[in-house]
Copies of this chain bind each other. A is one copy, B any other.
Amino acid sequence: MTPRHDPCFPGGTPEDTGSRSYEPVRVGRISYMNVAPVYYGLNNGQKPDWMAMTCAPPAALNAMMAAGELDVSPVSSAAYARHQDKWLILPDLSIACFGPVMSVLLVSRHPFAGLAGRKVVLTRESATAAALTRYLLASDGIRPCLTVGRVRRADDLPDDTGAALVIGDAALREPWAARFDHVWDLGAMWRERTGLPFVFALWVVRKSFAEAHPDRVSAVLHQFYRSRSAGAGHLSRILPEAADRLGISPEMCRRYYHRLRYTLDSAQMAGLSAFFRGLYAERIISRPVGLSLFRDPGLQDAPGHERPIASACRRS
């Protein structure tokens, strides 16, 4: 076995770089269990010394990215829409679902169309789920009275509440269906309407950092892909801890993780575009949103058919 080197530090380990001794790359990590598979490898021996990890709730990571306190982080899709000029999307990483997601619910005392004019409480914990709720209502022409508040338990909601958006642990743990006539899974509603996946969070890099250090961003990407692959192979180790922290049964926890997707393929990109277009069309956001991706410097452009895939298939 060769001496221990870090295979993902461009130009070798810090000791090798001589005058090029970099600051660590500052990387965010969502402090919720839903992201555990992506960080599994990084949390279990794969984190190189040149990655400095900060663990915080999603809203805090959004703010730290906006303040330039992190270089790379998951952010909510709604935060990307606000800061698209400063951030680039990292390829093939997201928190997404295709159909029911289990942890983003609209619980209601009335049929969907009956929410017009009624009070709908949006949890303050998620900007993206709140924007999705507003879009689903607005695109059906339903204009409720929207408020923001605390939605953790059914008892949190006053009697005049028509419906409430509940996310995360509270959505998974509380028996909402026992207390409300209608419980809609917003991942399922989105798929029914669009046929597309829904993307709750993206990994982004600050544009200025990516321009200065494309090879370092590429090395971070390597680390995330390998870490996520390690997580996919060790879900059975993640589940007991996750079930315990979420306070749900291991079986429900298993179903939950099988709902989540951490990739960002073309269907998910289409879902993201459709979401941003819908938000702009309903004037929930004030500007159209473009999807600007970080271009991995190791990946050449292959425009059109100039370099057909078939020709790459040869002995070398």
How many angstroms between the C-alpha atoms of A269 and B36 in the bound complex? 19
When distances are taken between beta carbons in the complex, the residues of chain B under 8 Å from A245 are: 310
Residues in chain B near residue A300, CB distance under 8 A: 44-45
CB distance B305 to A241 under 8 Å?
A: yes
Collect the chain B residues with CB atoms within 8 Å of residue A228's CB: 225
B230 and A91: CB pair below 8 A? yes
Interface residues of A in 204-228 (CB under 8 A from B): 213-216, 218-219, 221-222, 225-226, 228
Residues of B within 8 A of A229 (CB): 91-93, 221, 225, 263
Given A233-B266, A265-B235, A310-B245, check contact A2 B299 (CB 8 Å).
no
CA distance A9 to B12 in the complex (A): 10
Residues of B within 8 A of A312 (CB): 39, 43-44
Chain B hits for A241, CB < 8 A: 305, 308-310
A285 contacts chain B at the CB level, 8 A cutoff: no
Q: Which of A47-55, A76-84, A148-156 contacts B (4 or more CB under 8 A)?
A: A47-55
Residue A41 at the chain B interface, CB threshold 8 Å: yes
A94 to B45, CA, bound (A): 24
Asked if A267 lies at the interface with its beta carbon under 8 angstroms from chain B, I say: yes
Are A8 and B222 neighbours in the complex by a CB distance under 8 Å?
A: yes
Residues on the B chain within 8 Å of A297, using CB: 1
The reply to whether A46 and B299 contact each other, CB–CB distance below 8 Å, is yes
Interface string of A26-48 (1 = CB under 8 A from B): 00010101001001110111110
- Tell me the bound Cα distance from A235 to B268 in angstroms: 12
Please tell me the size bucket of the interface on A. 35 or more
Cβ contacts under 8 Å, A233 to chain B: 91-92, 264-266, 269, 293
Instruction: Provide the residues of chain B in CB contact with A92, threshold 8 Å.
Output: 229-230, 232-233
Q: A45-B299, A225-B225 are in contact. Are A54 and B315 (CB under 8 A)?
A: yes
A230-261: which have CB < 8 Å to B? Answer: 230, 232-238, 240-242, 245, 258
Whether A7 contacts B8 by the Cβ 8 Å rule is yes
A125 an interface residue at 8 Å Cβ cutoff? no
**Bound CA–CA A5/B314 (angstroms):** 25
Instruction: Tell me, in angstroms, the Cα distance from A7 to B217 when the chains sit together.
Output: 12
Report the 3 A-B pairs with minimum CB-CB distance, sorted nearest first. Answer: A45-B300, A92-B229, A43-B312
Q: A2-B216, A7-B298, A241-B308 are in contact. List 13 more A-B contacts (CB 8 A).
A: A2-B10, A7-B219, A8-B8, A12-B12, A43-B309, A44-B307, A45-B300, A53-B314, A91-B229, A232-B263, A233-B293, A235-B266, A241-B310
